Amino acid sequence: MSAVNMNAEVISAWETNATFWDETMGSSGNDYYQLLELPALERMATVKPGEKALDLATGNGLVAHWLAVQGATVVATDASSVMLVRAAARGAEIKSDEGRDIRDSISYQLLDATSPESFEEFINEETGRVSVWPINQLLHLRSIYYFHLFEPSISIDPLI
């Protein structure tokens, strides 16, 4: 099976299962998110208000919403259009601790991060506009990385 066909099958599976995933994760996430991912984000991803952040493979938007609550302006991407709709709907329900609506702090974009061409095009567009890059669920590794973009090079600091 070619990579293109495999990507299409994976994206199709996420389109089919997006509602189940969203309903299972809800607005607060599962045990993995609550016990591992969220505490790691809180400890290691110091987000300053107004900072630009990227969430690749956002799923139902848990990390994107957390970043926006912290004050970041977020670009949330996913290969599943249904997931993006679900993430936006969840984000519409969330307010910051100060009662600020986070909807205007997140833009949702369709992106297959496993497609080198799509990912490279996206990065070329976003480089210079994004300063915080916590990436979760990328290629199902569920690893979190913090990418600090510096001109002209990129520094990658593993968090976990």
> pLDDT truncated to tens, each residue of the chain (160 aa)?
455 556 888 899 999 999 999 999 999 999 999 998 899 888 887 888 888 888 889 999 999 999 999 999 999 999 999 999 999 999 998 988 888 899 999 999 999 888 878 878 887 777 655 554 554 433 333 333 333 333 333 444 444 4
The confidence score (pLDDT) of residue 47 equals: 84
The set of residues, in sequence order, having a beta carbon less than 8 Å from that of 40 and lying 6+ positions away, is: 144, 159, 160
In the three-class reduction of DSSP (H, G, I as helix; E, B as strand; rest coil), residue 58 is classed as: coil
Overall number of domains in the chain: 1
Domain containing 104 — which CATH number? 3.40.50.150
Q: What's the pLDDT score for residue 115?
A: 82
Q: What pLDDT score was predicted for residue 44?
A: 81
pLDDT at 127: 61
Angle at 128 between CA 52 and CA 33, to 5 degrees: 35
Give pTM, 2 decimals. Answer: 0.77
- The reported pLDDT for the residue numbered 137 is 36
Question: How confident is the model at residue 53, as a pLDDT?
Answer: 86
In terms of Cβ atoms closer than 10 Å to its own Cβ (0-12, 13-18, 19+), residue 55 is buried
What's the pLDDT score for residue 96?
A: 84
For residue 41, the enclosing domain spans: 3-158
DSSP three-state, residue 89: helix
105 and 127 Cβ atoms separated by less than 8 Å: no
pLDDT for the residue 150: 34
